[in-house]
Structure 1
């Protein structure tokens, strides 16, 4: 689960779409999307370089 979150976070930082989530399992997909969302939110407020 932590790995999925981390990979989602990295995807969000790199600007990838949430549609790029490679997971099918609902629980793991939710973790990936949580990481992706956190990175996107951080980018939008300037916490991370684009």
Structure 2
């Protein structure tokens, strides 16, 4: 099995965080499956919080333990 398929939830979280950090809308979520969508949305919410707290770029990524 390929590594990418095993870590799909982690990848979705990271992409959601990045989208939230960039100020994108939650309607931009590329996933329709509710199980996988929840991982993207969790990342998006945390990314939006980081955005509102004034974090950007590397400082936001370093402050989020899920992205290491």
Is 1:37 matched with 2:51? no
Q: Kindly name which structure, 1 or 2, has the bigger radius of gyration based on alpha carbons.
A: 2
Q: Detail structure 1 runs of 4+ shifted over 6 Å in the superposition.
A: none
**How many pairs are equivalent?**
49
**Unmatched 5+ stretches in structure 2:** 1-8, 57-68
Task: With a CA cutoff of 8 Å and minimum separation of 6, indicate the structure with the bigger relative contact order.
Answer: 1
What do you get for the CA RMSD once the two structures are aligned?
1.4
5+ residue gaps, structure 1, are: none
TM-score where L is the length of structure 2: 0.66
Deviation (angstroms), 1:45:
2.0
